[in-house]
Chains A and B, each alone.
Chain A
Amino acid sequence: MTQVPTLSRLFIFITLICAATLSGLAKSDSDRVSELLALRSRSQSGVIHLDDRSVSHFLTSAKTPRPYWIVIFFDAAQLHDKQELHLKDLREEFAVVASSFLTNNQDPSSSSHAKLFFCDIEFKESQNSFSQFGVNALPHIRLIGPHQSIKESDQMDQGDFSRLAESMAEFIESRSTVVVGPIHRPPILSKKQLTFVIIALLIWMPFIGKKIISGKTLVHDPKIWLTGAVFVYFFSVSGAMHNIIRKMPMFLADRNDPNKLIFFYQGSGMQLGAEGFAIGFLYTIVGLLLAFVTRVLVMVRNRNVQRAFMIFALFVSFWAVREVVYLDNWKTGYGVHAFWPSSWH
């Protein structure tokens, strides 16, 4: 066991430093809790920022039935611009869980008060802790129980933060005795923005009222309505609601060949964003061309323009229908066939 001497050496080193800096503060559990509480009250969302020193102070050097649970979010500022990791989003969600926990358990008499602390660690600052925890891939969230050492602690799986704050809270509740409670998301508009909107609306109201009475608004223009109606149609038939509800990405990266992107998903239960919009476009374009031919093109006096455009429109429509039929057969695997009288065979 080579670890023991290093650990003990580290322990001595840290106690020395702590003793020096904190001027002999007693390391009892209640002090640690109050320290954590103080740190938490200083942070904005209730997430405590840890570094190598504080990790050892609160986790490694603290004796094992620690009176608190700690959840650590492993962050790396240099990876924030990598979209596929969603580090920023997850960090925000993590903060939402933290602040919800705070608001739900403000009462000191509640069983979960000061039992759970949300922390984050930055890779560049605290590479030591990253190696201590054995973290070599992000995103990574860990829950360390009172009895657990760093190595034993539970790691949050991909599935546990897939549904964001709610599933993180579920994970914590399932592995610990702490109750997180309902998630409070910050409202989309802050109070200031809301008052601004209301004031703007109030100022705007008389003007719009006057316009409505005089009958000269956008709502009296059928073209607006027409565009809106066609757009809603396009939006719905493209399955965009499905993509919003299921939070589908616009496209996927091919597993076999990372440079290739998958735009079309095979299987009728699911679709990708770009795929939906492409088909929605095909659905809509045929009708628009047909309407154009029957309503606008008939007014044109030049025969050749008419002819050329009609051929073009027919060709595009034919292509669009054929493409949708082909893609539908490919995606669903249905073989649509006609029924002929059996004597014809």
Chain B
Amino acid sequence: MAASETSSETTLRHAFGNVLSFFILLLIGVLAFSIRLFSVIKYESVIHEFDPYFNYRVTQFLTKNGIYDFWNWFDDRTWYPLGRVIGGTVYPGLTLTAGTIWWILNSLNIPLSVETVCVFTAPVFSALASWATYLLTKEVKGAGAGLTAAVLLAMVPSYISRSVAGSYDNEAVAIFALIFTFYLYIKTLNTGSLFYATLNAIAYFYMVCSWGGYTFIINLIPMHVLLCIVTGRYSSRLYIAYAPLVVLGTLLASLVPVVGFNAVMTSEHFASFLVFIIIHVVALVYYIKGVLSPRMFKVAVTLVLSVGLVVCFAAIAVLVALVASSPTKGWSGRSLSLLDPTYASKYIPIIASVSEHQPPTWPSYFMDINVLAFLVPAGIIACFSPLSDASSFVILYIVTSVYFSGVMVRLMLVLAPAACILSGIALSEAFEVFTRSIKFQLPGASINSQVSAGDNISDSTMAHNDMAKTDKSEDTLKERPSRKNRRKEKEPVEQPSIRSRIEKRLLVLPLEASILAILLLVFLGAFYVVHCVWAAAEAYSAPSIVLTSQSHDGLHVFDDFREAYAWLSHNTEVDDKVASWWDYGYQTTAMANRTVIVDNNTWNNTHIATVGTAMSSPEKAAWEIFNSLDVKYVLVVFGGLVGYPSDDINKFLWMVRIGGGVFPHIKEPDYLRDGQYRIDSEATPTMLNCLMYKLSYYRFVDTDGKAFDRVRRTEIGKKYFKLTHFEEVFTTHHWMVRIYKLKPQKNRIRGKIKKSKSKSSSTSTKRSGARKKNPWH
């Protein structure tokens, strides 16, 4: 970062720049934290959505019972009658982090509740993530780009959507871990220091603890290493950056129970081992090349190549055989659907059914990364000139993540940091060129005065980058051979920088056009800020457990979910089992503390299919299924009265599909009229008689006399019917949650009927609609 001024002046400028960067970073942290507080301000300090409730419950358990009990926790409140081993099936990073924060705060006598800590974990970590982005981008393109990227990341909507206060989910800490791991990798690559390599492995370990997305790291880094080798950029720094990561990282990763031997057994990790072999072969070749004379080397190459190739092919053959022996070729369904985007929709309805696994359309990009989408191509080009190890990594990162985000909308989250980094690079470079053009052409500015005060940070980076530009052919600047050599190199490097200064004066654009361009860029940035604040405030802050709607007569609050869960926890036995579609499993266990059949951890497809089958069967069959699972209560979510679109009727086709996947007597065409899903008078009889329809629309006609469904915008098909095997026990204020109780078993009545037939016939005439189905007739 040295410019060619006298040493005292440069140190002063440096110090000033560093202090300024520090304060800017502090402000960025504050920004990142505070932009995520809209949810607390607009609603309340509450855990959001579905998965966070599970994490919250686990954290509560951890803080109450300690880490060992948490590790060995077998949860019998879920997946009844199977239960779930929580300690071995959960990524513990988030819960351990929040638990540790809570523990530290409490030992400092700051009595925060576990819930408060959980709510604010995500905003705190997004501040950390933006600082990590600064470090990463600084390694790639200097401090100016780093600060720009950090401020972009602090408010990128895609990341906000997963890290608003209350969104207590794995991604909140995982994105920080992801960026920080990448930073340490680049840092090791630039310095060749084993210290950073070790830190890198530890950061990777934290990432493995936090999120299943760690497979992205363990595939991206080998890809980059391979790319470097193929393009002839192998160096000892590359070796130091990669080999310890694979060895230490894999060892550490297998310590996490949920990963365990997967770290060496599944195909997601094979790329890293393959590249591990390759880098050793290449390292050997380079070593031999250094030791032998060129002629001897040629002989050795032919020898080694022939032997090495045989060994390589043998190893690859073994790997391929291993992989091919498993039916899914060793890949998990989610990874397969990334490689072959049409895979999930064909074979795994349970993955395809989740809305965040859908492929995004172009407005999603505009919504989630906004104007960054325009800037990224410029960033890509900036990274290509000059192409260094670090910048090639960033390019690889953006290319892979943008492809993955195109397949699954949820992976937009992985794209967001890459987009911020590249946009930061592009923006800072554009500002640099334009401000330079203005600075040196302002009337009155003496061209020769180099030490003009003002833009201090960008000035130093400017010199830095320009040098790289002028010495493009050499390309040596960013690839510091090693730490020790770097200091020696400083002297000769400083001399061309004078030359570059003189040359740079020519590299300017017209003054007025530059001013216009800067204005437009500032407008673009302002638009980004407006959009991000709007997205944070309006689009992504709703906790989805409390809903609000703005209408002409003021604000309506729908707190039906908590009403229903509270009812369950106050009015049912502790050991009662509640059946619902899996979406509401985590919430039921966390808020109502009742045992559920299935929950959002969709590990057992058959069990989910059983519930799906019950929901799509007629009443009696459903009753039998539920009764066999000891279910006492059935909970359905119904939005027809208030117009809440993500209710069970809208999810129903997925229940049919998932149920039909395991129990073939459930056929999707039976529920569709001419391929259309409808619940009005045109609906199929199977649809009108299935449990989900009945539980959702039972007594619905009493509300307005017409039974008009506001979500489907139609009158329902069958309005008057009675329930034979279920009874309604609770319906919330806005009818959004309806709870039914299974009627007690009736098999003992059979004897009674034989004795007094007249009596039973009078009761059965009451149930006129269900007469045929009565089992004892």
Contact = CB atoms under 8 A, between A and B. Distances in A.
A286 to B, nearest CB: 4
Interface string B519-553: 01000100100110110010100000000000000
Interface in B348-370: 359-367
A310 B517 contact: yes
B675 interface: yes
Contacts of B231: 219-220
A32 B163 CA distance: 69
B371 A237 contact: no
A318 B520 contact: yes
A157 B676 CA distance: 11
Interface stretch (B263-271, B402-410, B477-485): B402-410
Contact of B378 (A228, A240, A291): A291
A241 B407 contact: yes
Given A233-B376, A269-B361, A287-B426, A239 B537 contact: no
A298 B509 contact: yes
Given A222-B387, A338-B533, A294 B377 contact: no
Contacts of A271: 361-363
B402 A233 contact: yes
B362 A235 contact: no
A229 interface: yes
A239 B362 contact: yes
Contacts of B377: 230, 233-234, 283-284, 286-288, 290-291
B375 A290 contact: yes
A236 B430 contact: no
Q: Name the interface size band of chain B.
A: 35 or more
Contact of B509 (A306, A324, A339): A306
B172 interface: no
A111 to B, nearest CB: 15
A297 interface: yes
Interface in B391-411: 395, 398-399, 402-403, 405-407
Contacts of B362: 237-239, 271, 275-276, 279-280, 283
B743 interface: no
B82 interface: no
A69 B507 CA distance: 80
Given A237-B373, A314-B517, A244 B378 contact: no
Contacts of B524: 321
Contacts of A170: 667-669
A269 B670 CA distance: 26
Interface string B128-163: 000000000000000000000000000000000000
Q: Which of B430, B513, B672 has most A Cβ within 10 Å?
A: B513
A13 interface: no
Contacts of B373: 237, 283
B433 interface: yes
Interface in A304-331: 306-307, 310-311, 314, 317-318, 320-321, 324-325, 328, 331
Given A239-B360, A242-B406, A288-B381, A299 B507 contact: yes
Nearest to B508: A298
A336 interface: yes
Contact of B534 (A219, A232, A241, A336): A336
B669 A286 contact: no
Nearest to B534: A336
A311 B378 contact: no
Nearest to B514: A310
B366 A232 contact: no
- By Cβ-Cβ distance, the 10 closest A-B pairs, closest first, are A159-B675, A287-B377, A236-B406, A241-B406, A291-B381, A242-B359, A286-B374, A287-B378, A310-B513, A291-B378
19 contacts: A219-B231, A229-B399, A236-B406, A239-B364, A245-B345, A275-B362, A280-B362, A287-B377, A288-B378, A290-B426, A294-B378, A294-B430, A295-B382, A297-B509, A307-B510, A314-B517, A324-B374, A337-B534, A338-B530
